[in-house]
Each structure stands twice: as structure tokens, then as C-alpha cells.
Structure 1
């Protein structure tokens, strides 16, 4: 028998935390990693964001909507890292 949540914690904070850390990782990669190795590091940052998304949602402890929350954190991280990558590509052209 499970105990119902009387005042469940908001789930948005865990998702946004992963997005912010993906943005920080993307900017750090853009600044500190040489251009030929950036693609590899962006893939590693996305893998780290996916694992972090799983970890944050597991720590959260609610089973309802788990897949949706992990998917939102992964998709948001992918979009953020894609935008940072596109910005780096445009800056290299200019």
C-alpha cells in the first residue's frame, strides 16, 4: 500500500536543473575545448545530461510521469546543446 503525496514537490525544478547544467557544459566546451574535439565533447555532454536526468528523477522518487520527465530533460538538453553548437558553427563562419 502506498501513501499518497499530500503536497508533492514540483517536478519542473529537476528538469530545469538538467537544462542549466547542459547549458553550462555547452558553454564550457565552446570556450575551453579545441575546435576539432568539440563534437566528441558535445556528445559526451549529452550523454552526461541524459544520465543526470535519470539520476535526478530517480532521486525525486515519484513513479508517475517518470518517462515524461526524463524525456523532457533529455530533449531540452539536446535542444540547448544544439543551439550552442549552431552558435559555435555560425561564429566560425563569421
Structure 2
């Protein structure tokens, strides 16, 4: 017989952790990857964030709102990497 949790762990931390990893990946890609390959590596970084969000949310072991938590992680990662991509694009067209 399974015993229900009296106070379940908060799952917001896992969502925000994936966003932080996406920001770190985006900054690393902007700094270390040559300009002509940055777009491809940002897509690879987003794929890694998708896999990481599944791993983190499966690690919680809770089936309630699993899809919503994964969707929030992935959507947040997409927004973070999109903002970093826009910054990279603006930096590329501005005169130095």
C-alpha cells in the first residue's frame, strides 16, 4: 500500500533549474562557438534542455501535472535561448 505524501516537494525548482541551464548553455554558445555555427548549436542546446527537462521531472517521481511541468521547462528554455539568440543577432549587425 502506498502512503501519500503529506507535503509534496515543490516542483518549481526543477523548472527553473532547466531555465538556468538553458541560459548557461546559450551564453557558452555565444562566447565559444564561431558565428557561422551558433544557430545550429543553439538548436542542439534546446534539444539538450528538452532531454534535461524530462530527466528532472521524472526524477521527482510524481505523475500529477507532469506534462505541464515539462512544457513549462521547455517553453522557458525556448524563450531564454530565443532572447540570447536575438542578442547574438543584434551584436552581429551592430557596427563595432
Q: Same fold (TM over 0.5)?
A: yes
Structure 2, gaps ≥5 residues long: none
2:52 aligns with: 52
* Deviation at residue 50 of structure 1 after TM alignment: 0.2
* Runs of 4+ displaced beyond 6 Å: none
- The size of the alignment, in residue pairs, is 94
Aligned Cα RMSD in Å? 0.8
Q: TM-score, normalised by structure 1?
A: 0.97
Q: TM-score, normalised by structure 2?
A: 0.95
Matched, 1:65 2:69: no
Structure 1, gaps ≥5 residues long: none
Counterparts of 1:1-94 in structure 2, within 5 Å, are 1-94=1-94
